[in-house]
Amino acid sequence: MLKLTGIGKRFGGLTALQGISFNVGKGTITGIIGPNGAGKTTLFNIATGIYPPSEGAVLLDGVDISALPPERRARLGLVRTFQNIELFGKMTVLENVMVGLHTQSSCGLFSCSFRMPWQMSEERRIREKALQWLEFTGITELADVVAGTLSFGKGRLLEIARAMALEPKLLLMDEPAAGLNSRETAELADLIKKIRDLGVTVGLVEHDMDLVMDICDALVVLNLGTMLAEGTPREIQDNPAVVTAYLGEE
C-alpha cells in the first residue's frame, strides 16, 4: 500500500531522518513508535506531502508520489489526522465533515454562485454522506455545534470523521490517543478496528503502548531518526535493542 524507500530529511545541518524504508501492508494497522524526537511526525509530514524528503521516495500503490502536494495525495486516497487536532474551528461539525467530501464533489465557483440544479442535488448528497460519517464516529448530536468549542476528545472524533469522509485507502493518524482519557482511548481502539474492517489501511504514530500492542498488526520502531526494528508487536516486545532504546533497560 504505502512504501517508503530510503527516506532522509535534513533541516539545515540537522539530520532528522536517515535511511527509512518500510512497507505498510494493505488492510493492516501499522504502528510507528519510538521515543520523543525519533522523527515520527517528520516521517508523517513527508508521507503526506507537508514537506518533501531530502532523499528517498514515497510510493502509494507503486506510484511515486514524492513530489505531489497534499491535496493531490488526498485525491489518491492518502489522508491524515494531526497530533494537535487541526479542525476548521469557526465552522460547524457538519460543515467540517462536508469539507472532507470536497474531493467527491465538483461544483466550482460558477455553479455554486448561480445555484445550478446539479449543485443543489450535490449539496444534498454531501450533507447526507457527512451525516453518515458523524453517525459512524458517534457524534451525530453535535452536528450543528461550532467545531472550535468541542472538547479534545470530541474534536479527535470529528477529525477522524472528516478524514474518513474522503474514503481514504490509507489513513495516517498522528498520536490519536494523545490527550484522551482511558475510556476514550478504549473507544478509539474500537473505532480504529472498525475503520480497518471497512478495508482502510491504517498507519499510526502512537505513544500509548497498550493501545499499540492491542490493535497493531505490524510495528516500525524509530530511534534518533533511523530505523531500529520492524516486526509484529510480539517480535518487537522481545527485541533486545528496542527494549534498551525505548522501553528502558532492565
Partner 1 sequence: MKSDKIKFLVFCLIVLAAPVPLSQGYLTNVLVFVGINSMLALGLNLLLGYAGQISLGQAAFFGLGAYGSGVLTTHFAMNPWLAMVLVALCVALFAFAIGFPVLRLKGHYLAMATLGVGVIAHIAFNETVDLTGGPSGLSGIPNLSVGSFTFDSDIKNYYLVWSFALVVILLSLNMVNSRFGRGLRAIHDSEVAARVMGVNARLMKVQVFTLSALISALAGSLYCHVMTFISPTSFGFNISIELLTMVVIGGLGSVYGSILGALLLTLLPELLRAFQDYDIVFYGLLLVSMTIYLPGGLVRGIPALFRRVMPARSGHA
Binding site for partner 1 (CB under 8 A): 48, 50, 69-71, 74-75, 79-80, 82, 86-91, 95, 98-100, 102-103, 105, 107-109, 112-115, 119, 122-123, 126, 162-163, 166
91 or 145: CB nearest partner 1: 91
Question: Please, what is the minimum distance in Å from the beta carbon of residue 183 to partner 1?
Answer: 27
Yes or no: say if 30 and 47 are a contact pair by the CB < 8 Å rule.
no
13 or 108: CB nearest partner 1: 108
12 or 114: CB nearest partner 1: 114
Question: Please, what is the minimum distance in Å from the beta carbon of residue 199 to partner 1?
Answer: 20
Cα(246)–Cα(223) distance, integer angstroms: 8
1 or 87: CB nearest partner 1: 87
Question: Please, what is the minimum distance in Å from the beta carbon of residue 238 to partner 1?
Answer: 36
Question: Please, what is the minimum distance in Å from the beta carbon of residue 100 to partner 1?
Answer: 5
155 or 233: CB nearest partner 1: 155
Torsion of Cα atoms, 192 then 138 then 176 then 196, to 10°: 10
Question: Please, what is the minimum distance in Å from the beta carbon of residue 126 to partner 1?
Answer: 7
Kindly report the three-state secondary structure assignment for every residue of the chain. CEEEEEEEEEECCEEEEEEEEEEECCCCEEEEECCCCCCHHHHHHHHHCCCCCCEEEEEECCEECCCCCHHHHHHCCEEEECCCCCCCCCCEHHHHHHHHCHHHCCCCHHHHHCCCHHHHHHHHHHHHHHHHHHHHHCCHHHCCCEHHHCCHHHHHHHHHHHHHCCCCCEEEEECCCCCCCHHHHHHHHHHHHHHHHCCCEEEEECCCHHHHHHHCCEEEEEECCEEEEEECHHHHHHCHHHHHHHHCCC
44 or 246: CB nearest partner 1: 44
62 or 108: CB nearest partner 1: 108
30: which 3 cell numbers? 501499522
Question: Please, what is the minimum distance in Å from the beta carbon of residue 244 to partner 1?
Answer: 36
Question: Please, what is the minimum distance in Å from the beta carbon of residue 71 to partner 1?
Answer: 5
